[in-house]
Structure 1
Amino acid sequence: MSAGDRGNPPHPVLAAAADAALGAYRDAIRRHTPAQLAEHVLDGADGTPSMHIDVLVEDAVIDAVTALGANVLSEERGWVDRSSALTVVIDPVDGTANAASGVPVSCFSGAVAVDGVFTHALTSWLHTDDRWWAQAGVPSYRTSGRRAAEGAAVSLLRPHDRNWEAWSRVARAAGRIRVLGCSTMDAALVATGAIDAFADAGSDTHRLMDLAAAAVLVPAAGGVLVDAHGRPFELDLDLTRRWSGVVAATPELADEMCALINLA
């Protein structure tokens, strides 16, 4: 297990949520076939299809978090109100397609917001239960410190027709490109210095729960989270909102990534 700030334990609500997610994930892959896990069982609150594995893990996490008196905002069930000042934004299984098919690159990720301000985050690699956590304002981990895209190790969301040119510009500028299919893991890897940057190259695919943990983990490591189009990233109960998140080791690298994405 990875320690967050190497001193303080993770927020207890996030630790309970991660424990619940891990147990439900392991139970799901033991009891169900990949085809059953990938079955489309409902349309989530964010407007996207939900796989069976999403719902199985989310139900366990919501039970754990609400039992501790916190509100929950999640992609499948949306807003669960417990009349608390504390809200936990969760992505029960980020990298759902990976998880359902047996590719070991998926995460539980959550962030605590108190009166609308993100204060704590935790991301757990479901395959291994490695965990990364941080508290806002408390130094934790260290990014690579890279300031330029030339030679950088960059993870990207897969390209779409609508952003192929921008995606290609970033790929040509970087030294190495990866497509993991798990945004929350990508952000944790930037925070720990394993890669230099991660981005949605302008496709407006990212949802709140894809980036909530990064809003705490990455600044605590000296990096930055921005939107490629300059929109503020903030807690919002409207799960149809989208961003093109750019997570980078330094402000300079983030600025260059955004310039490449937005080059006319």
Structure 2
Amino acid sequence: MGVTTAIQSDLNEFAEFAQHLADLSRSIAHHEFQNIPAFQNKGDGSPVTAADEAVEAELLRAIRETYPDHGILGEETGCTNLDRDLVWVVDPIDGTKSFATGTSTFGSLIALCHRQKPVIGVIELPVSGWRYVGVAGEVTSFNGVPVSSRKDMRLSDCVLSASGGEFFRGPAPRSGFERLREQCDWTVYGAGCSAFGSLSRGLMDICLEGANLATFDFCALVPVVEGAGGKITDWRGRPFRLVPDMTHRADGVVATGDAALHEKVLQFLNP
């Protein structure tokens, strides 16, 4: 049974709740950003701040209070009922390095998956007050206004977003990134999750990430990109689904404004 017949009638309710979670995240993250806390490194070497933990704790509290039967996959502390049909996926501060160093491209990523497929995604950017909401079967919105990605772009005219060269480790990812970068008009670095929002409203054409992203890093991006008419897969062209394994890492992430451009990009990444 697909999304349309199973839970389509409930998606508006869940989407409203996802925006409530984004409101909670915005309030906490914006307050913490005024007095940036010290950060520590986790076991995998990535940083974590008090803001990550505070946002996640509040979001998980709200989910458990409102939907106690739903599953939760949280980056920092919360993983429960991952075998349920409906699982919330939360990245409280996506771009902790940006947050910890006082730059404003960090965001909160909130997703709901139905039978492992991301059906609701929110990219919340607390400092700018910008919010992208994607819901399966509906058009993506930016601060409540429908948006669309750019279509029929020549690769030579495309704007490419990439977190930075250090994220493309190893000869194959690095050479794939360089081949693609040389074909594009120009490249923006370090935009993080905000780049996928920009792609959804036609300001960028390609978003590229390396292979170190976990499930909570990409689930919310899927409905936002797809609802704007774009396409998002790993570097091999495989669609993203919920993986209930905290150690799982995606084989790269590539998002484009449309399917035709996506195929061209994959050819440069995988010659």
Change (3 A) 1:256 1:83: closer
**How big is the shift at 1:190?**
1.0
Q: Distance between the aligned counterparts of 1:90 and 1:146, measured in 2?
A: 33
Aligned amino acid, residue 18 of structure 1: A
Change (3 A) 1:198 1:83: closer
Q: How does 1:63-102 map to 2 (within 5 A)?
A: 63-69=61-67, 70-81=70-81, 85-102=85-102
Cross-structure match for 1:255:
263
Unpaired stretches in structure 1, ≥5 consecutive residues: 1-7
Say if 2:232 and 2:239, in contact at 8 Å, map to a contact too.
Answer: no
Cross-structure match for 2:150:
144
TM-score for both structures, normalised by structure 2: 0.82
Q: Distance between the aligned counterparts of 2:80 and 2:65, measured in 1?
A: 12
**How big is the shift at 1:122?**
1.2
Match of 2:196 among 170, 187, 207: 187
Deviations 1:45-82 (A, max 9, x none): xx855333322222222122222124321211241339
Q: Distance between the aligned counterparts of 1:168 and 1:115, measured in 2?
A: 36
Change (3 A) 1:197 1:82: closer
SS in structure 1 at match of 2:232: strand
Aligned amino acid, residue 254 of structure 1: H
Say if 1:187 and 1:218, in contact at 8 Å, map to a contact too.
Answer: yes
Q: Does 51-60 or 232-241 show the bigger shift?
A: 51-60
Aligned amino acid, residue 199 of structure 2: V
Say if 2:161 and 2:191, in contact at 8 Å, map to a contact too.
Answer: no
Cross-structure match for 1:59:
57
**How big is the shift at 1:84?**
5.7
Say if 2:122 and 2:220, in contact at 8 Å, map to a contact too.
Answer: yes
Cross-structure match for 1:198:
207
Identity of matched residues, %: 20
Aligned length: 247
Q: Distance between the aligned counterparts of 2:51 and 2:43, measured in 1?
A: 13
Change (3 A) 1:43 1:22: farther
TM-score for both structures, normalised by structure 1: 0.84
**How big is the shift at 1:210?**
1.8
Change (3 A) 1:80 1:181: farther
Match of 2:31 among 27, 30, 35: 27
Query: Is 1:172 the equivalent of 2:182?
Result: yes
Q: Distance between the aligned counterparts of 2:14 and 2:187, measured in 1?
A: 31
Change (3 A) 1:83 1:260: closer
Q: Distance between the aligned counterparts of 2:225 and 2:260, measured in 1?
A: 15
Q: Distance between the aligned counterparts of 1:85 and 1:228, measured in 2?
A: 27
Q: Which runs of 4+ in 1 moved over 6 A?
A: none
Cross-structure match for 1:218:
225
Say if 1:122 and 1:132, in contact at 8 Å, map to a contact too.
Answer: yes
**How big is the shift at 1:83?**
8.2
Cross-structure match for 1:5:
none
Deviations 1:7-29 (A, max 9, x none): x7871221121112112212323
Query: Is 1:240 the equivalent of 2:250?
Result: no
Change (3 A) 1:76 1:193: same
Q: Distance between the aligned counterparts of 2:82 and 2:97, measured in 1?
A: 31
Deviations 1:98-128 (A, max 9, x none): 1111111111111111333322111111112
Q: Does 143-152 or 49-58 show the bigger shift?
A: 49-58
Unpaired stretches in structure 2, ≥5 consecutive residues: 1-11, 141-146
